[in-house]
Amino acid sequence: MSADDARVALVTGASRGIGALIARTLAERGWNLTVSARQPEALQGFAHALAADTGRRIVAVAADMSDEAAVEQLAREHVDAFGRTDALVLNAGMGAIGRFAEFPLRRLDKLYAVNVRSAYQLVQQLLPTMRATGGLSSKGARVIAMASMTGISAEPLNSAYGATKAALISLCETLTVEEYEHGVSGVAVCPGYVATDMTSGLADTIAPTEMITARDVADQTVALTELERTVVVPRLLLTRPGPNLWHA
Ligand SMILES: NC(=O)c1ccc[n+]([C@@H]2O[C@H](COP(=O)([O-])OP(=O)(O)OC[C@H]3O[C@@H](n4cnc5c(N)ncnc54)[C@H](OP(=O)(O)O)[C@@H]3O)[C@@H](O)[C@H]2O)c1
């Protein structure tokens, strides 16, 4: 257990966007964190600022989610640093659009590695610590995966990205039915378009002011960590106003 007995999370993709707001909100609520992203300088800068602002223990580990050895090292450093895991926030993700007919298979493989395989690997590696934590805490331990509305409802140009997010949703559901006895459950957060760097290229089609805010996604995600272990939330859907409810 960590020295001050605070709750502990590992947040991937934490240096900006939705992940940075989730990490900051958790730290402001007293959590200690491992934060991860690829670019070490931006990650270290974020971690230092967060530690200074909140007084919490923030460990930064740079890792590319498409690199199996780096993901393994991330999990190991997290466990060595804290010895407990109340929440694993699988937020790092790669976006890519293109017509099904022409989408390069190599790009599909990369999307799958970053968005799904790394998540699978992190869950496998952290399950022992999550079971130990979940068994002792009234709130259990949660795997929170940042999926997408495209994993639920078809969106043109998103055959590959949407498939990876559908896989994440499935992964969370199976985890819950296999691990409930240990107090571990999974939840897939499924937002429509969120105004972040990832969607900046869509600004001509959808104004950022019409997108969901990263603040809203982060607040709803962190609220999931306040639930008791007796409640399971398989999916959290956040869509946008419009004539079609099932859209990104
Ligand atoms: N924005 C949307 O409309 C939207 C909607 C639904 C779901 N989502 C999902 O929400 C999650 C966060 O998206 P966002 O919009 O906040 O993205 P973002 O602003 O682009 O931030 C992405 C974060 O992930 C890190 N990252 C990117 N590729 C990575 C890799 N290969 N390995 C490790 N870290 C990586 C980035 O840091 P580095 O570049 O330093 O690695 C950064 O910290 C993603 O899973 C995304 O698919 C987004």
- Check residue 140 and give its pLDDT: 98
User: What separation in Å is there between the alpha carbon of 138 and the centre of ligand 1?
Assistant: 31
Please tell me which residue in 112, 161, 180, 193 is annotated as part of the active site.
161
CA 149 to ligand 1: nearest atom: 6
- What percent of the chain clears pLDDT 90, i.e. is strictly above it? 98
- Check residue 227 and give its pLDDT: 98
pLDDT over 90 (residue 5): no
Q: What's the rounded Cα separation, in Å, for the pair 54 and 227?
A: 23
pLDDT over 50 (residue 194): yes
Domains in the chain (CATH in brackets) are 8-238 (3.40.50.720)
User: What separation in Å is there between the alpha carbon of 102 and the centre of ligand 1?
Assistant: 24
User: What separation in Å is there between the alpha carbon of 37 and the centre of ligand 1?
Assistant: 9
Q: Name which residue sits closest to atom 42 of ligand 1, judged by CA.
A: 13
Q: What's the rounded Cα separation, in Å, for the pair 248 and 240?
A: 7
Q: Which tens digit of pLDDT belongs to each residue from 67-93?
A: 999 999 999 999 999 999 999 999 999
Hey, which residues does 185 pair with through a beta bridge? 142
Q: Is 161 a catalytic residue?
A: yes
Q: What's the rounded Cα separation, in Å, for the pair 142 and 140?
A: 7
pLDDT over 50 (residue 2): no
- Check residue 181 and give its pLDDT: 97
pLDDT over 70 (residue 3): no
User: What region, left, alpha or beta, does residue 51 occupy, with left being phi > 0 and alpha being psi -120 to 50 degrees?
Assistant: alpha
User: What separation in Å is there between the alpha carbon of 123 and the centre of ligand 1?
Assistant: 18
pLDDT over 90 (residue 96): yes
Q: Which tens digit of pLDDT belongs to each residue from 136-167?
A: 999 999 999 999 999 999 999 999 999 999 99
CA 212 to ligand 1: nearest atom: 3
CA–centroid distance for 24 within its chain: 14
CA 161 to ligand 1: nearest atom: 47
Enumerate residues 6+ apart whose C-beta is below 8 A from 151: 162, 163, 164, 165, 166, 167, 168, 169, 188, 190
Question: What tokens does 143 get?
Answer: 């795997």
